[in-house]
Amino acid sequence: MKPTIIVSTYPDKKSITKISNELVKTKIAACVNITKISSIYAWKGKIENTSEYLALFKTTDKNKKILKEKIKSTHPYDVPEIAEIDVTSINKPYLNWLIDSTN
């Protein structure tokens, strides 16, 4: 089974914490790393400088489609970032834990 990381950003800790808890509880994601970041981007003709929360959703290839759908359907942004990182190398004990945590 292949590991996958899905990346998204959220406007506040409450929104990312809620979905993260649900995804881990239902074993769609093994874990979610959350960190506060500063983002600069163009939105509706203006340059935005804002704080956001970056989420790294760790899962397997069998769960990535449902994970992406869940992020999209629950995300507070009109245009959420849902980016997939192709993991080409991962240590075996962590991969085993990841698989066990999403089955």
Number of folded domains in the chain? 1
What 3 state SS string does 36-94 have? EEEEEEEECCEEEEEEEEEEEEEEECCCHHHHHHHHHHHCCCCCCCCEEEECCCCCHHH
| Predicted structure pTM score | 0.93
Give the domain CATH number at 18: 3.30.70.120
- The total of other beta-carbon atoms located within 10 Å of residue 40's CB is 8
Q: What is the pLDDT along the chain (103 residues), one digit of tens a residue?
A: 899 999 999 999 999 999 999 999 999 999 999 999 999 999 999 999 999 999 999 999 999 999 999 999 999 999 999 999 989 899 999 999 999 999 8
Tell me what pLDDT residue 1 has.
85
Domain of residue 31, residue span: 3-101
